[in-house]
């Protein structure tokens, strides 16, 4: 460094420090790519769809149960409900996803991470630039409003401003008061997604769901068109639902699988292994029928 | 007018309250310090904004012709509302559209109107009061004027400065203002008997007044001509105006009477609740259940965590009582 002044040496030393400041944070993992779902996980729930009246393992309260028991599958024949997209806390559990990033090309700072779901081709944005969540009077969306940060090797996401959605596709509601905490963790070619759903309106305890995906270098996502049509002529203002005590389908799941009816009603207790002892003491559907 | 109703109205002369529900709501609001209320501005789309403070949401339409407001919140907030509008536009307020006659929506009429003006000329000066420095025009359904003037119903007359200056009595009034068509649609016998929807055709935004809210049960002001089925019909009218984008996360936007900016999904969820509870109440009424028996059975329990309250304005019991009475009369 002969001939180089002390001040100039300081400047040269500062260059790598400045470059480092603009680079992605240490531990930031690249999640970009096409990820294929592992459909053996909760397969009956995801492909055939859940059975009517099966709320087992969901930490729902009495209000959510009452709502679910009033739900009629005929709702899906109403034009205004045919193309309703899966809410963000359900969409990722449904099928493949594609992830890409918005990066400032000059500073290389990560602005946002986008996730597209195969189901209805919905796209969510996870803001990584430190912005605040909107005020409470701002619009809610099926994808909500998400901000994220890397915690070690994991992307942690907080989501607010959700529209009303569902925990299970048989009428179990999640309210627009719900908020989400998600984690995306990459282990090589495996991506694990966890979501904690916190809903003071309809849950006794936070609901937890996770899914695994496999990296697919040749993956391509197909379109998912949906056009509402009139399948049945209903009177104006018609909305199908069951009055309390009149939904005869609620017992089908219990009777078909020989599961005590009480165990199909959900509630926080049904999430835990100890509940097996409770089930063992409950009457089987046959005994109930007798 | 019942003594209790009269007492509530007389206790709020400054606000010029109208309507029992409005008076009760206004009483709750009067207890709060309006000095602490901030007016928040939310961009809705294009030149449409939503002002959130205390009372009903205000919709603001801006343009070269001036400023049009839908609703006016409470009188003490007028200076803050005027300041919020001034940050958006230097143009004067030309029109205020009242969605109905309750104080939390029309309380600011007088002050906001006088902060603006009406374009006059030709044979208008001398022929109409608002053309003589009387400020902006206040448009409303005729029943709003009839109720505020004490002509219809049992409410006392309120100061004339709060009255609409431009009323209509048929199904719809149309304006073309700031480059877009505006439909002011009367939805009869809903929240009250003077409710209107205001639909901005180019901006594709509809302001609903209190026929739609995201913050509580539907309020049916029976004494002001509101009915349960009329409110449901009004929600259908809102749905009919909406064309959503794919996935229902865009398209027509909805400014509710209270609560957050909304879209089709929010209105459908609310309408679903109104239908489901109506059907349950009807079946209970048909079965001969009394109001007390119905309340004890909690027919709205599944929606209580989202819309219910037992302490503040329009409790679950008050909602069920009004719904029961309205639906019983229609049976």
Give pLDDT tens digits along chain B (331 positions): 333 333 333 333 334 344 545 555 555 555 568 999 999 999 999 999 999 999 999 999 999 999 999 999 999 999 999 999 999 999 999 999 999 999 999 999 999 999 998 887 777 665 565 555 679 999 999 999 999 999 999 989 999 999 999 999 999 999 999 999 999 999 999 999 999 999 999 999 999 999 999 999 999 999 999 999 999 999 999 999 999 988 777 899 999 999 999 999 999 999 999 999 999 999 999 999 999 999 999 999 999 999 998 878 899 999 999 999 999 997 6
B276 shares contact with chain A (CB less than 8 Å): yes
CB distance B320 to B297 below 8 Å = no
Q: Which residue is closest to B243 within chain A, CA to CA?
A: A80
pLDDT of the residue at B215 = 95
The token pair at A278 is: 């409770």
A202 shares contact with chain B (CB less than 8 Å): yes
A236 shares contact with chain B (CB less than 8 Å): yes
B261 shares contact with chain A (CB less than 8 Å): yes
Q: Alpha-carbon torsion B285, B289, B291, B296, what sign?
A: negative
Cβ-based contacts of A71 with chain B (< 8 Å): none
Tokens 């489901």 locate to B276
pLDDT of the residue at B18 = 45
Does the structure show a pLDDT above 60 at A226?
yes
**Residue A273's Cα: distance from chain center in Å?**
24
Give the orientation angle of helix B264-286 with respect to helix B228-241, to 10 degrees.
150
Cβ-based contacts of B280 with chain A (< 8 Å): 243-244
A102 burial class (0-12, 13-18, 19+ CB within 10 angstroms)? middle
* Contact call for A122 and B247, based on CB within 8 A: yes
* Contact call for A63 and B259, based on CB within 8 A: no
A200 shares contact with chain B (CB less than 8 Å): yes
CB distance B120 to B87 below 8 Å = no
Distance of residue B132 Cα from the nearest chain A Cα, in angstroms: 38
pLDDT of the residue at A27 = 54
Residue A8 CA to residue B19 CA, distance in Å, equals: 78
Q: Which residue is closest to A61 within chain B, CA to CA?
A: B302
Distance of residue B1 Cα from the nearest chain A Cα, in angstroms: 35
Cβ-based contacts of A143 with chain B (< 8 Å): 249
| pTM to 2 decimal places | 0.90
* Contact call for B260 and A140, based on CB within 8 A: yes
Q: Mean of the pLDDT values across residues A159-163?
A: 97
Pairing of the two strands B93-97 and B137-141: parallel
Kindly report, residue by residue over A113-147, the tens digit of the pLDDT: 999 999 899 999 999 999 999 999 999 999 999 99
Kindly report, residue by residue over A32-71, the tens digit of the pLDDT: 999 999 988 888 888 888 999 999 999 999 999 999 999 9
Q: Single out the residue of B165, B159, B151, B224 nearest to residue B14, CA to CA.
A: B159
Helix or strand run (H / E) with residue B139? strand B137-141
Residue B76 CA to residue B80 CA, distance in Å, equals: 9
When pLDDT is cut at 50, 70 and 90, the band that residue A13 belongs to is very low
Phi, psi of A68 (to 5 degrees): -65, -40
CB distance B57 to B258 below 8 Å = yes
Residue A187 CA to residue A185 CA, distance in Å, equals: 7
A48 shares contact with chain B (CB less than 8 Å): no
Helices (H), B190-227: none
Q: Which residue is closest to B276 within chain A, CA to CA?
A: A241
Q: Which residue is closest to A241 within chain B, CA to CA?
A: B276
* Contact call for B249 and A85, based on CB within 8 A: yes
The beta-carbon neighbor of A140 closest among B266, B276, B305 is B266
B172 shares contact with chain A (CB less than 8 Å): no
Percent of chain A with pLDDT over 70: 89
The token pair at B141 is: 């359904």
The beta-carbon neighbor of A239 closest among B261, B272, B299 is B272
Complex ipTM more than 0.85, yes or no: yes
CB distance B116 to B97 below 8 Å = no
Helices (H), A171-220: none
Distance of residue B263 Cα from the nearest chain A Cα, in angstroms: 8
Kindly report, residue by residue over A170-213, the tens digit of the pLDDT: 999 999 999 999 999 999 999 999 999 999 999 999 999 999 99
Distance of residue B20 Cα from the nearest chain A Cα, in angstroms: 27
The beta-carbon neighbor of A142 closest among B249, B253, B304 is B249
Half-sphere exposure of A18 (CA within 13 A, CB side): 7
Residue A52 CA to residue A265 CA, distance in Å, equals: 11
Beta strands in chain A (DSSP E): 33-37, 97-103, 110-117, 123-127, 145-151, 154-160, 165-168, 172-174, 179-187, 190-198, 207-215
Helices (H), chain B: 3-10, 20-30, 78-86, 103-106, 109-114, 142-148, 228-241, 264-286, 291-297, 304-307, 316-330
The beta-carbon neighbor of B302 closest among A66, A142, A164 is A66
pLDDT of the residue at A288 = 52
Q: Which residues pair with B180 in a beta bridge?
A: B177
Pairing of the two strands A33-37 and A97-103: antiparallel
Reduce the DSSP state of residue A248 to 3 states and report it: helix
The b-or-e profile of B158-167 (16+ CB within 10 A means b, else e) is beeebbbbbb
B174 shares contact with chain A (CB less than 8 Å): no
Mutate to test the interface with B, among A70, A137, A160 (most CBs of B within 10 A): A137
Residue B294 CA to residue B288 CA, distance in Å, equals: 10
Computed over every residue of chain A, the mean pLDDT equals 89
* Cβ count within 10 A of residue A8: 11
pLDDT of the residue at A16 = 44
């Amino acid at each position: 460094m002969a001939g180089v002044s002390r001040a100039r040496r300081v400047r040269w030393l500062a260059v790598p420090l400045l470059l480092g400041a603009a680079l992605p944070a240490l531990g930031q993992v690249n999640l970009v790519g096409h990820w294929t779902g592992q459909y053996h996980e909760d397969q009956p729930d995801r492909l055939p769809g859940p059975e009517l009246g099966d709320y087992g393992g969901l930490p729902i309260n009495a209000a959510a149960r009452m709502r679910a028991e009033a739900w009629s599958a005929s709702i899906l024949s109403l034009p205004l409900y045919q193309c309703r997209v899966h809410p963000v806390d359900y969409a990722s559990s449904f099928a493949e996803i594609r992830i890409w990033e918005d990066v400032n090309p000059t500073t290389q700072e990560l602005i946002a991470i986008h996730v597209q779901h195969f189901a209805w081709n919905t796209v969510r944005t996870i803001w990584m630039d430190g912005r605040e969540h909107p005020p409470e009077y701002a619009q809610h969306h099926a994808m909500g409003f998400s901000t994220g940060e890397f915690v070690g090797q994991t992307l942690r996401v907080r989501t607010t401003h959700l529209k009303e959605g569902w925990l299970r596709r048989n009428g179990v509601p999640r309210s627009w008061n719900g908020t989400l905490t998600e984690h995306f963790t990459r282990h090589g070619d495996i991506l694990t997604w966890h979501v904690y759903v916190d809903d003071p309106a309809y849950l006794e305890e936070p609901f937890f769901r996770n899914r695994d995906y496999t990296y697919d270098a040749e993956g391509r996502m197909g379109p998912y068109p949906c056009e509402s049509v009139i399948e049945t002529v209903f009177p104006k203002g018609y909305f199908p639902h069951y009055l309390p005590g009149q939904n005869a389908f609620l017992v089908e799941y219990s009777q078909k699988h020989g599961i005590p009816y009480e165990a199909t009603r959900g509630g926080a207790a049904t999430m835990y292994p100890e509940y097996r002892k409770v089930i063992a003491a409950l009457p089987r559907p046959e005994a109930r029928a007798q | 007018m019942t003594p209790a109703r009269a007492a509530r109205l007389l206790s709020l002369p400054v606000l010029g309250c109208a309507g029992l529900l409005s008076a009760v709501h206004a009483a709750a609001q009067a207890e709060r310090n309006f000095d602490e209320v901030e007016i928040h501005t939310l961009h809705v789309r294009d030149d449409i904004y939503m002002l959130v403070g205390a009372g009903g949401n205000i919709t603001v339409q801006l343009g070269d012709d001036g400023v049009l407001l839908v609703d006016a919140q409470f009188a003490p907030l007028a200076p803050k509302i005027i300041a919020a509008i001034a940050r958006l536009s230097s143009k004067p307020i030309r029109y205020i559209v009242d969605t109905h006659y309750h104080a939390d929506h029309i309380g600011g009429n007088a002050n906001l109107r006088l902060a603006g003006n009406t374009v006059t000329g030709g044979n208008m000066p001398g022929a109409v009061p608002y053309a003589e420095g009387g400020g902006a025009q206040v448009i409303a359904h005729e029943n709003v004027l009839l109720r505020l003037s004490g002509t219809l119903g049992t409410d006392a007359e309120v100061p004339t400065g709060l009255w609409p200056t431009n009323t209509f009595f048929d199904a719809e009034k149309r304006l073309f203002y700031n480059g877009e068509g505006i439909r002011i649609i009367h939805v009869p016998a809903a929240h009250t008997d003077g409710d209107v929807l205001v639909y901005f055709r180019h901006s594709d935004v509809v302001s609903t007044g209190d026929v739609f809210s995201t913050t509580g049960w539907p309020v049916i002001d029976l004494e002001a001509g509101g009915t349960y089925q009329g409110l449901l019909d009004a929600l259908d009218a809102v749905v009919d105006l909406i064309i959503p984008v794919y996935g229902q996360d865009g398209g027509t936007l909805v400014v509710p009477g209270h609560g957050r900016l909304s879209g089709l999904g929010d209105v459908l969820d609310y309408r679903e609740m109104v239908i489901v509870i109506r059907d349950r109440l009807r079946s209970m009424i048909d079965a001969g259940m009394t109001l007390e028996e119905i309340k004890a059975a909690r027919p709205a329990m599944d929606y209580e965590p989202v819309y219910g309250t037992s302490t503040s304005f329009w409790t679950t019991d008050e909602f069920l009582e009004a719904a029961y009475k309205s639906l019983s009369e229609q049976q």
